[in-house]
Structure 1
Amino acid sequence: MTRITERLGIELPLIQAGMAGGSTTPQLVAAVSNAGGLGTLGAGYMTADQIRSAIREIRALTPHPFAVNLLLTEPVVPDPEQISAMQEKMKPFRTELGLPDPAPVTKFAEPFDEQMAVVLEERVPVFSFAFGLLPARWVEACKQAGILICGTATTVREALLLEASGVDLIVGQGMEAGGHRGTFAGPWQQGMIGTMALIPQIVDAVRIPVIAAGGIMDARGVAAALVLGAEAAQLGTAFLTCVESGAHPHYQQAILESTEEQITTIREFSGKPARGLTNAFHEQLERHAGDLPPYPIQNALTRDIRQAAARQNRTEFMSMWAGQGTRLSRRESAGELVKRIAEDLAKFHF
């Protein structure tokens, strides 16, 4: 037992990452929680109504604790000329996919206040977030509602800022982690610190429990995280190829067939650096990385391309986030994955 398993009311020091974009179905979240871990709904791109519906579906599938994850978004001012220039650079992709010229994008992200209101109204057991510091009013509201708060740090400095803000738990996101980088207190390049180096430094710097994330795929990774001082491990990529995953079937197959040499840092899909499988979209647009509109503007601009690519099974134009341990991916149920990790973890002696 660790402070995290005790506080969360879970059997295993294992958390399924809140991957936004549809991968974390209610079935996946519930399966992880039912198996003794903590399932997480990646709700960053969902509307308030969609979040509420998913939460209620999860509750119908499991009596156990689960988390909801949201993404903090800094206010951005669109630059019409920059947007127009980027749309022109992306025209060949739309032509290849048979898409018309895009309509002007007026909405770049779901209203965070509306999303957060649902989290509070539904009184989810755990709320996690990334990309910044949760405003004080929401921290206080969560505490009044009895909701545990978990923030994401990629450096010791960010961990200290999160602790000072009042969060209960910290996810230390190593550079091996799949998906978007959570760096918020400096240039993203300064937050590219490996999990093995990052976790013990955060553990020594803060008093609250730490969760290790980044490249962890099996019991060996979980055990290593615990030895480093973390009190739980967060796995994302390992769950992407589970039966309950909502990830596109061709995306899942690409992960299963990939090697660590195909994983890189990609900014072109969203304007924010994220780790995933390289493909034609990234490789052809990479030379224009300096011209990208910021997140979430670029993320909104590429939505029609990503959606069309998914419909047409064109992985060369899909964002396929994944961490560096993809060779360890398996096709199995989430319950089987958690059970396998629990059984293998019991063989280690701490």
Structure 2
Amino acid sequence: MSAPLRRAEAFCSRFGLRAPILLAPMASTCPPALSVAVAKAGGLGGCGALMMQPDEIAAWTRTVRAGSNGAFQINTWIPDPAPVRDPDHEARVREFLGRWGPPVPPEAGDAGLPDFEVQCQAILDAGPTVISSIMGLYPPAFVAAMKARSIAWFAAVTTVAEARAAEAAGADAVVAQGAEAGGHRGSFEAGEAERLQVGLFALLPAVADSVSVPVIAAGGIADARGVAAALTLGASAVQIGTGFLRCPEAGLHPAYADALGRASPEDTMLTRAFTGRAARSLATHYVRAAASGDAPSPAPYPVQRALVAAMRAQAQAAGDVQRMQTWAGQSAGLASAEPAGEVVRRCWEGAKALLS
């Protein structure tokens, strides 16, 4: 067996998997059915709990466990500092958004996020195989609580320095997120997310050479070739997000799923126009307009998320992909409209054949 395959098999043995394929824990796009399908195929299911209340986390967990005895991770963000509000600037953002959707009232930006500490306790109570973090590191007390319950901690990182910090803080594995990845950049400092855009093929071997814990590769992986390349470059497993979004179990709006299937790598771009945090999206009409010189800069996170909510809801109801929130990695065009279990099997069997 080759060294990359031995490394992957060791990871699978440690975390109770048959395939080193992880479903990215994407907020709002990880329904239980998707994790059940991935887990049944031997991979690791995933839940992005960012916007979920404790009862929703518990319900998601019960549904997944009822459908599969497989492993899964639950993820939430490390909170940003409280945003600095600017009413005049927010008024300009609301006026701009009013051209793309319904009028946005002044109080729309006041909508908050779930309580982080309460959320963390709910995730602990759920007892997943893995709790994962993004946008920073969990506080020491929470790390100790995870370890006391034999729950592993996977920390998403975007630089070598972040990977070293995560290992020093007690992470059991690091998820090296390349700039190709769809959705939010996991940078510890929000202001660095756009400046430090390291591609996965440069980031992955550098991180693997810098830490002793397993490294999970994320960003632009959607087929067996990507899995094999990541394992060759030092990963023990891969995390796939966009590559699962066209699966029927994802329940994505057909207009969004079809747009992913048509996308070339250059059809995505980084934007703060949906949440105030940098994230990779399809380059839709709204995203391009928000990046134009005459558009106001987005409000800070999470104010922008709240301001955009009405437009997103209207676009979803209308099936208007040009205004939907359409996170997409640069390999979106490789995503296939087949059952998630088939994606897991195809990626892993194909990777093993390439690495044998």
In structure 2, the CA distance between the partners of 1:101 and 1:296, relative to structure 1 (3 Å rule), is closer
In structure 2, the CA distance between the partners of 1:3 and 1:83, relative to structure 1 (3 Å rule), is farther
Q: Measure the CA separation in 2 of the matches of 1:305 and 1:124.
A: 34
CA contact (8 A) 1:73 1:296 kept: no
CA displacement, residues 137-156 of structure 1 (integer Å, 9 cap, x when unaligned)? 21111111111101111100
Q: Measure the CA separation in 2 of the matches of 1:297 and 1:321.
A: 19
> How many equivalent pairs are there?
345
In structure 2, the CA distance between the partners of 1:48 and 1:80, relative to structure 1 (3 Å rule), is farther
Tell me what 2:105 maps to: 102
Tell me what 2:134 maps to: 130
- Give 1:35-50 correspondences, 5 Å limit: 35-50=41-56
Q: Measure the CA separation in 2 of the matches of 1:296 and 1:152.
A: 20
CA contact (8 A) 2:45 2:73 kept: yes
1:160 partner amino acid: R
**1:281 and 2:281 are equivalent in the alignment:** no
TM superposition shift of 1:272:
1.1
2:347 to 322, 341, 347: 341
Matched position secondary structure for 1:90: helix
TM superposition shift of 1:346:
2.6
2:213 to 197, 202, 208: 208
Tell me what 1:325 maps to: 331
Tell me what 1:248 maps to: 253
CA displacement, residues 91-122 of structure 1 (integer Å, 9 cap, x when unaligned)? 1112xxxx244361322322111211111112
Q: Measure the CA separation in 2 of the matches of 1:250 and 1:176.
A: 22
1:237 to 242, 249, 272: 242
In structure 2, the CA distance between the partners of 1:288 and 1:211, relative to structure 1 (3 Å rule), is farther
Residue ranges of structure 2 left out of the alignment (5+ in a row): 1-7
Matched position secondary structure for 2:153: strand
CA displacement, residues 280-308 of structure 1 (integer Å, 9 cap, x when unaligned)? 21111213676322111111111111111
CA contact (8 A) 1:108 1:299 kept: no
Matched position secondary structure for 2:243: helix
Stretches (4+) displaced over 4 A: none
Worse-matched range after superposition: 286-295 or 52-61: 286-295
Q: Measure the CA separation in 2 of the matches of 1:36 and 1:118.
A: 26
Q: Measure the CA separation in 1 of the matches of 2:285 and 2:294.
A: 14
TM-score scaled by length of structure 1 = 0.94
1:85 partner amino acid: R
TM superposition shift of 1:222:
0.6
Tell me what 1:306 maps to: 312
CA contact (8 A) 2:312 2:323 kept: yes
Q: Measure the CA separation in 2 of the matches of 1:246 and 1:137.
A: 37
TM superposition shift of 1:268:
0.8
Worse-matched range after superposition: 311-320 or 289-298: 289-298
Q: Percent identity?
A: 38
Please give the root-mean-square deviation of Cα atoms over the aligned residues, in Å: 1.6
In structure 2, the CA distance between the partners of 1:283 and 1:65, relative to structure 1 (3 Å rule), is same
Q: Measure the CA separation in 2 of the matches of 1:258 and 1:348.
A: 26
1:16 partner amino acid: L
Matched position secondary structure for 2:42: coil
TM-score scaled by length of structure 2 = 0.93
CA contact (8 A) 2:220 2:329 kept: yes
Worse-matched range after superposition: 285-294 or 50-59: 285-294
1:73 partner amino acid: P
